[in-house]
Structures are given as C-alpha cells and as structure tokens.
C-alpha cells in the first residue's frame, strides 16, 4: 500500500494541508490521520509546488521535492512532519528526490540533517546541479545516518533495503 501526503510550501509549520486528489485511494483512517490543516480557497487558483511524501512498500518513505524551486525551512519542516507521521515512531529509510531543485536553504538543510525518523538517506538526482545540491545536503548530515547520492531511483531503493528493519 502507498500512502501519500502532499506538503504545500505555504503550510504552517508541522501541518499537512488537505488535498483530496493526492490522497485518493488511501484508506480513510490513514488519510484522516495525515490531514491537519484546513484547506484555503484562493480567488484565482495558482498551482503551488508541492513536496510529495509517501510510504512505499517495504517501509521506505519517498520525499519528492518540486523542481525549479528553492526549498525553504517551512517546506522542509512540513515534509519532516509528514515523514515522522508515516514512520510512526520507527527509524525508516528515506528516498529524497531532488531532481531539478534549484537550491536548498540553510534552514531546510538543517531540517533534513537533523532528521530523527531516518535510518538512511538516498538522494536521487539527474544532473550535475542535483549532485552539487546533494553534496550540500550530505555535508551537514550527522555521521550516524548513512547517506548516498544516486542517479537512478532503482539503485537508490536497492541501497536503502538493508535499512528497512531499524527500530
């Protein structure tokens, strides 16, 4: 089963906004437990980049950062809250897709480096810029959390598999 939780950049810290399209198909109880913010209506709908957070089979949590954006602290904190909710008190492997991200603020980098729910990080990107951003993120991580950069999502998932059983 895959459970998805969208994280909007303008969501208050530690809140996950409601987006019925992204949660379609998720069990009602799981979807309800992930929704903590009230939806807001805009005069003109503008597509907001969303950080996608979902749990894959085997317990790996995938975080997809929106391309063509710099990731800021509030976005990273909201994504971190979603990861902790899905991890349910366990340390789990995290796949962080950074393909096309323009940059990551120092505050967002601190959030990812200070993760208490991650047993390992696999960062996936496609370009030399993605590799530079990954190394920027990895430079600040704690030494107790293994982390690697990959050009292939499949290789990243395979590398994360041994970390799925940590408590």
pLDDT of the residue at 109: 87
Is 128 contained in some domain? Answer: yes
Is 42 contained in some domain? Answer: no
Is 27 contained in some domain? Answer: yes
What is the pLDDT confidence band of residue 38, given thresholds at 50, 70 and 90? very low
β-strand partners of 44: none
**How many CB atoms sit inside 10 A of residue 57's CB?**
7
Range of the domain at 127: 3-37+48-163
Number of domains in the chain: 1
% the chain with pLDDT above 70? 66
Q: Is a pLDDT exceeding 70 seen at residue 32?
A: no
Is 22 contained in some domain? Answer: yes
pLDDT of the residue at 111: 85
Mean pLDDT of the chain: 75
Contact 101, 65 (CB under 8 A): yes
pTM: 0.69
pLDDT of the residue at 81: 92
What is the pLDDT confidence band of residue 62, given thresholds at 50, 70 and 90? very high
% the chain with pLDDT above 90? 46
Is 151 contained in some domain? Answer: yes
Lowest average pLDDT, out of 13-27, 42-56, 123-137, goes to: 13-27
CA distance 160 to 46: 36
Q: What is the pLDDT of residues 110-163, one digit of tens each?
A: 888 778 888 999 999 999 999 999 988 877 655 678 889 999 999 999 999 999
Question: For residues 13-32, b (16+ Cβ closer than 10 Å) or e, as one string?
Answer: eebbbbbeebbeebeeebbe
Please compute the mean of the pLDDT values over residues 22-32 and round it to a whole number. 36
Is 43 contained in some domain? Answer: no
**How many CB atoms sit inside 10 A of residue 114's CB?**
14
β-strand partners of 52: 6, 64
Q: What share of the chain is helix, strand, coil (3-state, %, to 5)?
A: 35, 20, 45
Q: What is the pLDDT of residues 97-109, one digit of tens each?
A: 999 999 999 998 8
Is 63 contained in some domain? Answer: yes
The domain that contains 146 carries what CATH number? 3.30.750.24
Angle between helix 128-139 and 106-113 (nearest 10): 60
CA distance 15 to 82: 8
Q: Is a pLDDT exceeding 60 seen at residue 4?
A: no
Is 149 contained in some domain? Answer: yes
């Amino acid at each position: 089963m895959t459970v998805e939780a969208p994280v909007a950049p303008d969501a208050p810290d530690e809140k996950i906004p409601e987006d019925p399209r992204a949660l379609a198909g998720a069990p009602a109880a799981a979807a309800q437990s992930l929704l903590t913010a009230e939806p807001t209506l805009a005069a003109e709908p503008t597509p907001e980049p969303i950080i996608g957070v979902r749990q894959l089979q085997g317990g790996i949590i995938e975080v997809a950062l929106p391309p063509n954006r710099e990731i800021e602290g509030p976005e990273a904190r909201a994504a971190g809250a979603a990861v902790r909710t899905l991890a349910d008190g366990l340390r789990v492997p995290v796949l962080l897709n950074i393909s096309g991200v323009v940059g990551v603020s120092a505050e967002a980098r601190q959030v990812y480096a200070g993760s208490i729910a991650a047993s390992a990080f696999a960062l996936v990107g496609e370009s030399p810029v993605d590799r530079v951003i990954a190394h920027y993120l990895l430079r600040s991580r704690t030494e107790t959390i293994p982390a690697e950069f990959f050009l292939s999502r499949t290789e990243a998932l395979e590398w994360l598999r041994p970390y799925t059983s940590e408590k």
